[in-house]
Amino acid sequence: MKIMVAVKRVVDYAVKIRVKPDKTGVETHNVKMSMNPFCEIALEEALRIKESGLASEVVAVSMGPAQCVDTLRTGLAMGADRGIHVEATGALYPLSVAKLLKALVEVENPGLLILGKQAIDDDCNQTGQMVAGLLGWPQGTFASKVVLDKENQVATVDREVDGGLETLSLDLPAVITTDLRLNQPRYATLPNIMKAKSKVIKKLTPQELKVEIRSDLEVVQVTEPPKRKAGVIVSSVDELIDKLKNEAHVI
């Protein structure tokens, strides 16, 4: 079985972002970019499945501008076998990404598609569900544990839901999106980074995949959230209780 993993290049999670003065978006020029943390977890899970002998190949795919190749290269250094880059400029919303993924799935025929549960830039939490819907595959979102049964062609997935954990059984092929607690992604070692340079990254365009990139969303403006007014430092528990009682009236 082949596993396909979708990875996204985003502003590094530790960066304090800046909104552009013209309100058209967030400054990404000269800002550290990395693989989306949830995508790292997705890739790690695929690699573990392969290492346990349940998958034969891990293909990492990414959509977006030329620099996505760097993100794919990181994925290859972690251990993915090869990469596919769908080069697309301009805004790509989850619906388009899901359609591109569906087209890639039809070419590659993976038995499992793993994605992160959300990208930390747009915070959409949509792509995995949408591609599952387009493919008619079952979905196991917000996964914190994945167990594959190759013989019966099912995946048992523990999901992080509002009230606790939920366990589902999915017929393969299926789409899984990863939550934070699924695993601890590995670091790429230097020899693997060197090896990754000779791995193949295939380049495709949306036209070649016969996917029309259109959008039914328009970003009107991006602004900074309202600032909270400065607080005070109190010196004792008594003062704190007094403030909460008599100033804020919350206890």
Smaller CB distance to other proteins: residue 205 or 215? 215
Residue with tokens 């230097």: 190
| Residue with smaller CB distance to other proteins, 81 or 139 | 139
Three-state SS sequence of 110-156: CCEEEEECCCCCCCCCCHHHHHHHHHCCCEEEEEEEEEEECCCCEEE
Q: Which is nearer to other proteins, 18 or 203 (CB)?
A: 18
Closest CA to 128 of 172, 177, 171, 90: 177
**Closer by beta carbon to other proteins, 29 or else 197:** 29
Between 108 and 121, whose beta carbon lies closer to other proteins? 121
Nearest distance from residue 7's CB to other proteins, in Å? 17
Q: At its nearest, how many Å lie between other proteins and the CB of residue 136? A: 8
| Shortest distance (Å) from residue 127 CB to other proteins | 8
**Structure tokens, 225:** 């959230």
CA distance 169 to 182: 17
Write the DSSP symbol of residue 227: P
> Could you tell me if 23 and 222 are in contact, meaning their C-beta atoms sit under 8 angstroms apart?
yes
Rounded distance, CA 119 to CA 38, Å?
7
Nearest distance, CB of residue 178 and other proteins, angstroms: 11
Query: DSSP assignment, residue 182?
Result: G
Please answer whether residues 2 and 111 qualify as being in contact, where contact means their C-beta atoms are separated by less than 8 angstroms.
yes
For the bound state, the minimum distance from the C-beta of residue 135 to other proteins, rounded and expressed in Å, comes to 9
In angstroms, what is the minimal distance from the CB of 220 to other proteins?
4
C-beta of 181 vs 195, nearer to other proteins:
181
Task: Give the number of other CB atoms < 10 A from CB of residue 27.
Answer: 13
